[in-house]
Amino acid sequence: MSLYMEEEGFTSLSLDAKEIADMVMEAALEYVNCPYEAEVNLLLTEEDEVREMNKTFRQTDKPTDVLSFPLLEYEVPGDFSPFEWQPEAFNPDSGELMLGDIVICKPKVLAQAEEYGHGVRREFAFLIAHSMLHLFGFDHVEETQREEMEQKQREIMEKLQIWR
């Protein structure tokens, strides 16, 4: 798996974000039995930037903790079989499946870790797991989808032994 990570702004998470992101992304890929090597872009940024992206792409004028921008359209969430016949889904240089982009708001990670009473590492890892599920086509618009996604998030976090 290739992780292309950029960080901007002055907020520090005081952790090895790339190491944790790699670990969670690998666990998520294994969890859904992705048969391909994959690539993900990750941007760690500040509230103003996330707010602007949220306004532009979701028409919601407020900062959020994480934004996910899947590059693939799934007929069935987590089913990678159709991409075998879609060469445009793969990076021509690396041969990796291009999953999409994740944007994480560093101040929100810090605030939510404190609000929920767990560590920054746990909050950051959770947001990566959540976003990876979006990159696999899962969503939480309807109640049954939300329950399924929450279960998958829990199982990924438990596999990594990252507890609340």
Query: Residue 140 is part of a domain; what is its CATH number?
Result: 3.40.390.30
Q: What is the pLDDT of residue 164?
A: 77
Q: How many domains does the chain have?
A: 1
pLDDT tens-digit series, residues 64-99: 999 999 999 999 999 999 999 999 999 999 999 999
* Domain hosting residue 70, numbered range: 2-159
Whole-model pTM above 0.85?
Answer: yes
> Domain for residue 69, yes or no?
yes
Task: Tell me: pLDDT of 120 over 80.
Answer: yes
Q: What is the pLDDT of residue 118?
A: 93
> Domain for residue 126, yes or no?
yes
Q: What is the pLDDT of residue 142?
A: 85
Cβ atoms 45, 105 nearer than 8 A: yes
d(Cα 61, Cα 45) in Å, to the nearest integer?
17
Task: Tell me: pLDDT of 135 over 90.
Answer: yes
pLDDT tens-digit series, residues 94-116: 999 999 999 999 999 999 999 99
> Domain for residue 164, yes or no?
no
Half-sphere exposure at residue 141, Cβ-oriented, CA atoms within 13 angstroms = 4
